[in-house]
Amino acid sequence: MVVTACDGLDGTKDGLIADPFACSRQPRSIECAPGQTSTAASFCLTAEQVSTVTKLYRGPADSHGRLLYPGWHGLADPAISPVGTIAYYQAVQNFMGGAARTSDFARLFMLPGVGHCGGGDGPDSFNGLGALVDWVEQGQAPTSLLTGKVVNGQVTQTQPVYQYPLIAVDTTGGPVTQASSYTPQQPPVSFDANVKWAAPSAPATSRSAAGSAESGSAALAKPARPSRHGR
């Protein structure tokens, strides 16, 4: 239902939601009409189900309405909300004094349709280690990662992912399964990741950092290059 409603909002009809924050579809919009029963052909949610899904999207909050943990809202990690990853990255940018200073050593790439450490409908194979090696040893900071979908040993789809917040959009009209069809674009809706946390220091804990690095995304942090001359 959500994919059907929001697939095209990221600029590419490919069965994946690259920009979940542009998706404003509310669970209430598919609440069953009075007397209606949900069927496979005519799917709807009961009032209780609408209430539950709405709370899941909003995320748990304390009695003052401050967020305890991000709502569950894409990209496709069922275990850890990608919003937590983005909020952590935003917190790092705030601490470092902006996006440009942070990009010197840490870059975030969100993987549409990809699960916790892999899997999901989206292309989940990529060479993050190679990107880090090029960054450290060649000074070539990654602006995109080439991802691929491998089914039964065959690559069925390739797609670039770009440095957050840019998303890959099929602007050429080429096949959505080929990376060459895509160019980096600003998302139609900019996402404010400055979360008002119940515990202000929560996003900066080491536990949050370790978990968020696996969250349907590739957070590349550039390690310092070992010096051979003790400089």
The footprint of Ca ion (CB under 5 A) covers: 7, 10, 12, 14, 16
Nearer to Ca ion, 16 or 67 (CB): 16
Whose tokens are 């900071």? That residue is: 141
Tokens of 123: 């292309």
CA-wise closest residue to 82 among 27, 142, 122, 141: 122
Distance CA 147, CA 111 (A): 8
Min dist CB 216 to Ca ion, Å, is 15
Q: How far is the CB of 38 from Ca ion (least distance, A)?
A: 26
Tell the smallest beta-carbon distance from residue 6 to Ca ion (Å).
Answer: 8
* Rounded alpha-carbon distances, angstroms, from residue 147 to 36, 55, 104, 129: 43, 33, 23, 13
Residue among 77 and 170 whose Cβ is closer to Ca ion? 170
**CB proximity list for 42: less than 8 A, separation 6 or greater:** 36
Strand partners of residue 151: 154
Which residue number, 16 or 161, has a Cβ lying nearer to Ca ion? 16
In a 3-state reduction of DSSP, which class is residue 124?
A: coil
Q: Which is nearer to Ca ion, 94 or 177 (CB)?
A: 177
Question: Which residue shows structure tokens 């095209």?
Answer: 8
Least distance from Ca ion to the Cβ atom of residue 15, Å: 7
CA 208, CA 199: separation in Å to the nearest integer?
13
Q: Got the DSSP string for 180-204? A: GGEEEE--SS-------BSSTTGGG
Whole-number minimum distance, CB 100 to Ca ion, in Å? Answer: 29
Closer Cβ to Ca ion, 14 or 77, answer by number:
14
Q: How far is the CB of 151 from Ca ion (least distance, A)?
A: 19
- Of 15 and 130, the one with the shorter C-beta distance to Ca ion is 15
The tokens describing 136, both together, are 């450290």
Write down the least CB distance from residue 193 to Ca ion, Å: 21
Note whether 55 and 67 are within 8 A (CB): no
Task: Give 121 or 134: the residue with its C-beta nearer to Ca ion.
Answer: 121
Q: Two tokens at 161?
A: 């992912």
